[in-house]
Structure 1
Amino acid sequence: MEKNHLKGFLTFLILAVLLAFSLGSQAQQKQISGQVVDQNGVGVPGVTIIVKETTVGTVSDVDGNYSLLVPVDAGRLIFSYIGMVSQEIEIGNLTTINVTMEADVIGLEEVVAVGYATRMAGEVTGAVTTVTATNIEEMSVIDASEALRAVAGVTVLESNTPGAGASIRIRGLGTINDNNPLWIVDGVPGGSVTPNNIESISILKDAAAQAIYGARASNGVILVTTKSGRKNQKAQVNVNVKQGISRNTNYYDLLNTQEYGEMLWLEAKNDGVTASHPLYGNGPTPVIPNYIRPAGASTVDLSLYDDKMLHEDGTDTYLIMEANKIGTEWMKESDRDAQFKEYTVDLTGGSEATNYAFQVGYMLEEGIMKYTGFDRFNLRSNITTNPVPWIEIGEKIGVTFSQDYGHQGDNSEGSIVSWAYRMQPIIPVLDVMGGYAGTRAEGTGNATNPVFLLDSSKDDLTKRMNVSGNTYIKINIMEGLSVRSLFGVNYSTRHSRNPGFVEVAEAERGKYASLSEGASFSMQWNWTNTLEYSKTFADLHAVTVMLGSEAIDYTYNYIDASRSQFFSKDINYMQLSTGLASINNAGGMNSWSLFSTFGRLNYAFANKYLFEGVVRRDGSSRFGGDNTYGIFPAFSAGWRISEESFMASTGNWLDELKLRGGYGTTGNDRIGNYNSYTNFAISYNNSFYPIGGANNTDGATGFYQSTFGNPDVKWETTKTTNFGVDGAIFNNLNFSFDVWQRVTSDMLYPKQIPMVLGRASAPSVNVGEMKNQGFDFELGYVNSALNNELKYNINFSISHYKNEIVSLSDEEGEFLSGQSNREMIYTRSEQGTSFPEFYGYVSEGIFQTEAEAAAWPTAFGAEGTYNEPGHYKYSDINGDGIINSDDRTYIGSPHPDFTAGLNFNVSYKNFSLVAQFYSSYGNDMINYTRRFIDFVQFQGGRSHERLYESWGSPYLANNLDATLPKAEGDDIDSQQPSSAFIEDGSYLRMENLRLSYDLNDLLGNKFRNLQVYGQVTNVFTITKYSGLDPEVNVGGANLGVDRGAWPTPRQITFGVNIGI
């Protein structure tokens, strides 16, 4: 009984205190109301109105109206909105405050994500560039990485394979290893996000901005913020529908069937032999046959065609084809006009306490190569709520389901592009029985019909699912002091199924059908906690301090298997359990973890002198012993000269002038998860030990050392210095200029080890140093005319970097080589060069006379064989009188002198036009495909130049005008990497052209917005490069080597945006 009385009394006491506090609070408050409008007098919804230096605030409603209870002694109200200039209004005795907000055309009030926090653009002292949702919408990109194209200092290389992302490089190549930047989506590393979900992208380009991410930041950091609703916003529905087609616009100029025969006869003439060919005969001129028959096939009765794969006795089938006398254009037979579709629906809104944003979307992107494509279905939910004014709880979660199908392209000899130019024009697509034709007959080469490859790969399917997002809570403990805790997840799964079919169309084929399947899943979680205190003292000293910790854990599991000897081609009956031979299984897991503590201090005096200091301490499971932890500090400072009293006279035209500089250290931990440890492995059916005098491969399973460990390896460290200036004048012209240098030391490199140590691979060791330096410049101009009916803006950017390997190792003469391409290596790097550069012989042209050839130093030890008219003439670099490997030197660079971008946007009344350009200048390229089409690398298609512009061609009036050596059957001119294969890779491309019209006025403004548009991407390209596309997505040691990449298609789309 006493306990109940006591409980009742305490309840009464608490209620009484709360009531008294509430009444007291009411007595000390007053109400302020008003409306916020733009320059045209239209109400602005979603404007944040807050009492300065407090958490008391509200948001304007859909008509721009607001009402707010403020303390009676409140001093100022701050009105802020993205894209508009913030305003501070003295409250005094006012109870009604109406505000007109102006557009922030110079971006000083733009909110910039800087890593675990946001800042106003005018407060930022590091090198940071922001891409907004409006920019992304104008570009109409499929992948988020494509939206970074016009950012100064950022290089974007498209793959052009459906669904594949682009390669991103920020300020050159900073290491000989992985140069990919770190992506953070809503506070979660990695993850999948569609462009329509993005509110903004911040690119952190120098260490002052990057160091808050420590060991993962040396290649740059890209912060993605997804869209959210606004408080006090009525529910809004946005629908975006667009459809279009993609089309290839560039093809190799190859010989037709008749010209191909002429070329063969020209080769024989230059070789000094009588012309003879299994298909074209042995007469004085080539004769195109009616049919192409392999040996043993009937020459009379086509009904004897045998459509079996293989006879039971193992002999080949007969493959009879009707010769294509005009010539098969294999690239055009392989590609198509590809469909593109995208549909998205957004729902956004909010109440006084909660805002929300939901999206559902679907996209289909067919590949320009037949039977290839990618589709994606995505969902997103972003919700933020304040259950009480001092607590904020939120979640941002995205789910993506995607699948790609068909033959996926790459930059290699195995690409469809490569197979297309390696097929002869005389071969038809189909044989006489309607099956796919091939190269089984003598004289047809060894390529595989690319149309067959595409068709037989149409059932290749890879399905992916990704769930990424976060949930967080933020507590405002007191004025200026808050704590935030975020838990993020990035979960992905993959399942692939690739049946393989054997057809007579394949030149080098197996005996049976096969099946490969694989599955994997990865799970990453991160728990990030920050404590932030912000206070302005005496209206002069603004201080913000943040302390934080972060834990990350990642696990990856996979399993792959393959079987062959399926007698049925029906994919429904092909299962791993029914394959009788070639049993291969693989699987495994790996994991890593990271624990970090970090802090940041921001100080501003009188909003003129800015300082920021950052330090992060990372501990990674990838490093052992004393190297587990690394410390990464950085600092930066800024001086807003335009805020000085002595600049007061410039106030009518100078809006902003800020100098800034910074220095800091970041790291790179991408060396694999177990580099510190010696690893062992097993292999089915291989003992790896001589049992009975030889390796036992009949059912024995061996245990062997696969890698050596290096417990002494440590972080790759990058030190960056950056100086910049930001300016804005006349409220319509802004610019930013940065000069920078970054030096990477202790580069992680798998050093070669002696063969006597066995088959184990070498671990990464810390060797060498690389330096990059350059500048970035951005310029923006905004203006209007004709009573504001004509509006336009121009944005220009230009960047330059220079890359140099300062040192590679302690061993003299150490160098790095690129990928070997049929025993030819085109790139090399060593101390004092860039990473990489092209390496080979210097071609001084073509020998014209016997006397000239005889007087030249003997080449390659082949006296009297190579030095003759019509062959390349190579420089004797060392002057020893012979041409050999000692005369190889650096012959070109894939690094551009500069890259530039230009965006132009003009609107008149309801019309709007957007045009975007991109250029790369001064970079060289190796067109590896020329080994196949300009020379005799296999018996495939040949270029127009080989017949009409080669030395000794009957179509050439003067051999001095020859662009190629003489056409020969042995083709010794293509067997050496030389400057003859170096081409100027510079180009200017019109990336995007978009015309839109707003129909809302015509329909009586029944919609919030209604816009129709048409758009063309890859409008045109101006270049001297002879390949299909000067933009090739390949990096590292093979930068600039084109081995058959898919070309960039031209896409034409039409769409409608509806806002309800």
Structure 2
Amino acid sequence: MQEPLIGVSIVIDGTTQGSITDVDGAFELQIPAGGATLNFSYVGYLTEKVKVKPGQKNIVVYMQEDAIMLDEAVVIGYGTQKKVNLTGAVATVGSEKLENRATQSLANMLQGSVAGLNVTTSSGVPGSSPSINVRGTTSINSAGPLVLIDGAVGELDRVNPNDVESISVIKDASAAAVYGARAAFGVILITTKSGSAQDGKATVRYSGRLGWQAPTTTTDYETTGYWSVYTVNTFWRAKNGTNYVDYTDYDMQQLLARVNDKTENPDRPWVVEDTRNGRRQWVYYGNYDWWHMMYNDRRPTQQHSISLSGGTKDVKYLVSGAYDYQKGILNMNPDIYRKYNLRSKIDFTINRYATLSNNTSFYGSQYTFQGNGSIDDTIGYSGRHALACFPMKNPDGSWLYGTPYLNYKVGNGRHIMPGEGSHRNVNRTNDFSNTTRLVITPIKQLSLTGDFTYRLYQTRNTHRSNNLFYREYPDGPLLSYATGAGLNKLSESVNTRNYYSANVFANYEDTFGEAHHVTGVVGFNYERMYLKNVSAAGQNLTSTSLDDLDLVGQNAEGEVLTEVGGGQSEYALAGFFGRVNYDYKGRYLFEASGRYDGTSRFAAGSRWGFFPSGSVGWRISEEPFFKPLSGYVDNLKLRASFGSLGNQNVSSYYTYMRLISVSDFAGFTFGEGSSMAKYATLGAPVASDLTWETSQQWDFGFDLTMLKNRLNITVDGYVRNTLNMLTDGVELPLLRAAVSIAAGLSTISN
């Protein structure tokens, strides 16, 4: 059954005049009086050319799927290359494979889509990022893949998935060599969508999704007071000789009498007031479901994305925006995550030799939640000592925290925090990036590219805690927990990163004698990062509902308790890179590349390193003897590569230095007692020849495409050795103890 295609591009042959199909597959276009030839093009379909006679008013075109896409261009380092001519291990993911993946982040969408790309989710907190590695754990130091968004360093989860045109995952050292020190453990290249020439007409696209998230494990926990107390007491008594919950046999009988009560029966109340040891007190006989009182099993989500694109032959544009909303797990005062994306891409044709483009993106997120610094803390502590017999609140409406039947605090008070809304947290992240690129093509075979990127990345976190109020006895006073998690305190921190990057490179491509195809790239890359952290905190605020450090008051002794912190770092990286590709009639393939990198993270005599790589390939399917099978096999290629890459992401930005640390004495103060005395310590010795951690990788593989691209098989085998990893080395005897020298001695193989 034929279906209409929306978004098919129609252009009059030899001109820039064109149109685009609507939702019904219809279009309107003014045809010259003498007739014309129309070019119909659509991603994933073969381009169709149709002649239109003078006066013809209707036309029906059937487009065929592009079953054979062997000439598909794949984005690689500082250029593109035909997929069939790749000699490295590179996998691609198109936007069509991501469209129907119902998840909130681009990283999770990639899960299971590329062999060797491991995406692991370790946290269910809204907005949390999964960990990613290419071909396994690769170093004891920082060893994540390099993520480039339109050539600029970025983060996967800060990209609107609807903006993505394609993703290339570079797995082996030979294909990643031009990125040098940043790419020792894989590269993920994200290319976003651009505008297209539509004779000035604009195209608006909207995508929306509503749904909910649910836990993948059961939340059917024990909800009967009798069995929860009986079970815990049995194990506790076997180990310690006493009961965990100090209930009498009569209390256990009362719990058993209520064991089948799903809701409270007026004849069998769940909280009974009694006089014991001469004091009135509450006795708890309930069947409370603490998990569902604290947390939601269904958490609504929504995503909205809209884009506007179009242009003329000289100016093309795309503007997009997205909004994500996730409701978190907390039942009382729910945690909320909001994410915003904006992107603007504009391409200008200056003249026949030069084009100028600007790519600006903004990412913002805000996560508001209740708790002692994190949701993980709430989940971890709220399940402690919160047996099903205990309610969250006493009959008088006060919170239950301490009880004479326990030596511990019920739920560690984590139910009070979201219930009162007293422990407010806001985590904000902003990421602004702007790249301006100029491309000059003096001749058909040569292009010169220069670009500059500025990125401002900032996190701003606010954490407020308050005293926890509770009552232990019916006739007792309202008590407060005012230390630790119950401290009246406000903390704020701001972490700012300013990143600058510049690239200048030249691409060359030509074919000689209709057989010898040569491409090459040579260039220079420079990066600099500045990091600045500022934090402040104060106690005893004069308001429990307003969060501002200007409200910090005094404690009972008249002291003003405040804290300040900070830190700053910077590093620079420079590299010269080059790559040459040669193929003979698309049959015999060869690639050689290398990068000469320097980094400020090592001492002056050890900062520079050269990292070469090479690869070869043989397209057996292009050999004359293979012609009898060409009707079944579209492509059969063997390939092998070797590469050596450096890793500069060692333990700190100043690993080669012995650093001085300044700390507070635990119990010695000056003045009124709130200013702690300081002392300094010198770091351990560092090896004088500390230099690059090096990853060496062999890769062998073959690619098989059959039945007009309907069956694709890629098999890879690799050996990777990571050498000279920074770790503790030889111990040196000192006056009172032995200290290990930091040195590059460790090795990992996978």
TM range (shorter): 0.7 to 0.9
Alignment-mate amino acid for residue 181 of structure 1? P
Alignment-mate amino acid for residue 595 of structure 1? A
| Equivalent residue runs for 1:37-436 within 5 Å | 44-45=8-9, 61-62=19-20, 82-84=43-45, 102-105=64-67, 107-150=69-112, 151-158=114-121, 159-191=123-155, 192-232=158-198, 234-248=201-215, 250-251=218-219, 253-254=221-222, 256-264=224-232, 266-267=234-235, 270=238, 279-281=246-248, 288=255, 291=271, 299-300=279-280, 323-330=284-291, 332-335=293-296, 337-370=298-331, 371-407=334-370, 414-420=377-383, 422-436=385-399
Aligned mates of 1:42, 1:586 — CA distance in 2: 56
- Name the CA shift for 1:103/1:758 in 2 (closer, same or farther; >3 Å): farther
Aligned mates of 1:652, 1:581 — CA distance in 2: 83
Which residue does the alignment assign to 2:600?
621
Alignment-mate amino acid for residue 177 of structure 2? A
Which residue does the alignment assign to 1:681?
661
Does the CA-based 8 Å contact 2:225-2:288 persist in structure 1?
yes
Aligned mates of 2:5, 2:223 — CA distance in 1: 67
Aligned mates of 2:466, 2:743 — CA distance in 1: 44
Aligned mates of 1:412, 1:333 — CA distance in 2: 12
Q: Which moved more, 1:563-572 or 1:594-603?
A: 563-572
Question: What's the offset of the Cα at 1:194?
Answer: 1.9
- Name the CA shift for 1:378/1:265 in 2 (closer, same or farther; >3 Å): closer
Does the CA-based 8 Å contact 1:58-1:66 persist in structure 2?
no
Question: What's the offset of the Cα at 1:269?
Answer: 6.8
Q: Secondary structure, in 3 states, of the residue corresponding to 1:139? A: coil
Question: What's the offset of the Cα at 1:335?
Answer: 2.8
- Name the CA shift for 1:321/1:444 in 2 (closer, same or farther; >3 Å): farther
Aligned mates of 2:620, 2:194 — CA distance in 1: 35
Does the CA-based 8 Å contact 2:382-2:415 persist in structure 1?
no
In the alignment, structure 1 segments of 5+ residues that lack a partner are 1-37, 51-56, 68-77, 89-97, 301-319, 773-1060
Alignment-mate amino acid for residue 508 of structure 2? Y
Residue deviations 1:744-780, cap 9 Å, x none?
A: 11112255967968999977421221111xxxxxxxx
Among 604, 615, 619, the residue aligned to 1:640:
619
Which residue does the alignment assign to 1:702?
679
Does the CA-based 8 Å contact 2:360-2:435 persist in structure 1?
yes
Pairing 1:474–2:439 present: yes
Does the CA-based 8 Å contact 1:361-1:379 persist in structure 2?
yes
Question: What's the offset of the Cα at 1:700?
Answer: 3.0
Question: What's the offset of the Cα at 1:514?
Answer: 0.6
- Name the CA shift for 1:339/1:41 in 2 (closer, same or farther; >3 Å): closer
Residue deviations 1:689-746, cap 9 Å, x none?
A: x99xxxx996533333256544421111111111111111111211111111111111
Among 488, 497, 502, the residue aligned to 2:467:
502
Q: Secondary structure, in 3 states, of the residue corresponding to 1:138? A: coil
- Name the CA shift for 1:476/1:492 in 2 (closer, same or farther; >3 Å): same
| Equivalent residue runs for 1:803-818 within 5 Å | none
Does the CA-based 8 Å contact 2:665-2:676 persist in structure 1?
yes
Aligned mates of 1:567, 1:410 — CA distance in 2: 21
Which residue does the alignment assign to 2:454?
489
Which residue does the alignment assign to 1:523?
498
Does the CA-based 8 Å contact 2:8-2:41 persist in structure 1?
no
- Name the CA shift for 1:418/1:520 in 2 (closer, same or farther; >3 Å): same
Question: What's the offset of the Cα at 1:666?
Answer: 1.4
Q: Secondary structure, in 3 states, of the residue corresponding to 1:259? A: helix
- Tell me how large the CA RMSD over aligned residues is: 3.9
Question: What's the offset of the Cα at 1:626?
Answer: 2.5
Aligned mates of 1:700, 1:48 — CA distance in 2: 80
Does the CA-based 8 Å contact 1:84-1:101 persist in structure 2?
yes
Does the CA-based 8 Å contact 1:330-1:423 persist in structure 2?
no
Which residue does the alignment assign to 2:265?
none
Which residue does the alignment assign to 1:1019?
none
Q: Secondary structure, in 3 states, of the residue corresponding to 1:213? A: helix
Among 699, 705, 716, the residue aligned to 1:728:
705
Q: Secondary structure, in 3 states, of the residue corresponding to 2:424? A: coil
Does the CA-based 8 Å contact 1:127-1:205 persist in structure 2?
yes
Which residue does the alignment assign to 1:594?
573
Question: What's the offset of the Cα at 1:176?
Answer: 1.7
Does the CA-based 8 Å contact 1:346-1:360 persist in structure 2?
yes
Aligned mates of 1:48, 1:668 — CA distance in 2: 51
Which residue does the alignment assign to 2:477?
none
Q: What is the identity percentage for the equivalent residue pairs of Structure 1 and Structure 2?
A: 26
Aligned mates of 1:551, 1:114 — CA distance in 2: 19
Does the CA-based 8 Å contact 2:490-2:547 persist in structure 1?
no
In the alignment, structure 2 segments of 5+ residues that lack a partner are 22-26, 31-38, 50-59, 256-268, 471-479
Aligned mates of 2:17, 2:371 — CA distance in 1: 49
Paired residues, what number? 686
Aligned mates of 2:578, 2:13 — CA distance in 1: 30
- Name the CA shift for 1:402/1:39 in 2 (closer, same or farther; >3 Å): closer
Which residue does the alignment assign to 1:769?
747
Aligned mates of 2:298, 2:530 — CA distance in 1: 41
Aligned mates of 1:265, 1:200 — CA distance in 2: 59
Alignment-mate amino acid for residue 248 of structure 1? P
Residue deviations 1:657-698, cap 9 Å, x none?
A: 11111110112211210111121233456799x99xxxx996
Which residue does the alignment assign to 1:821?
none
- Name the CA shift for 1:723/1:367 in 2 (closer, same or farther; >3 Å): same
Question: What's the offset of the Cα at 1:628?
Answer: 0.0
Q: Secondary structure, in 3 states, of the residue corresponding to 1:602? A: strand
Alignment-mate amino acid for residue 716 of structure 1? E
Does the CA-based 8 Å contact 1:708-1:762 persist in structure 2?
yes
Aligned mates of 1:460, 1:542 — CA distance in 2: 59
Question: What's the offset of the Cα at 1:49?
Answer: 8.9
Q: Which moved more, 1:58-67 or 1:597-606?
A: 58-67
Pairing 1:545–2:520 present: yes
Aligned mates of 1:387, 1:119 — CA distance in 2: 26
Which residue does the alignment assign to 1:603?
582
Q: Secondary structure, in 3 states, of the residue corresponding to 1:83? A: coil
Residue deviations 1:503-529, cap 9 Å, x none?
A: 046979446411101112111010011
Residue deviations 1:262-290, cap 9 Å, x none?
A: 225534774695x6565412569565496
Question: What's the offset of the Cα at 1:82?
Answer: 4.7
Does the CA-based 8 Å contact 1:211-1:615 persist in structure 2?
yes
Aligned mates of 2:542, 2:276 — CA distance in 1: 25
Aligned mates of 1:285, 1:40 — CA distance in 2: 71
Aligned mates of 2:441, 2:584 — CA distance in 1: 25
Does the CA-based 8 Å contact 2:499-2:528 persist in structure 1?
yes
Aligned mates of 2:138, 2:227 — CA distance in 1: 48
Aligned mates of 2:667, 2:686 — CA distance in 1: 23
Aligned mates of 1:708, 1:697 — CA distance in 2: 34
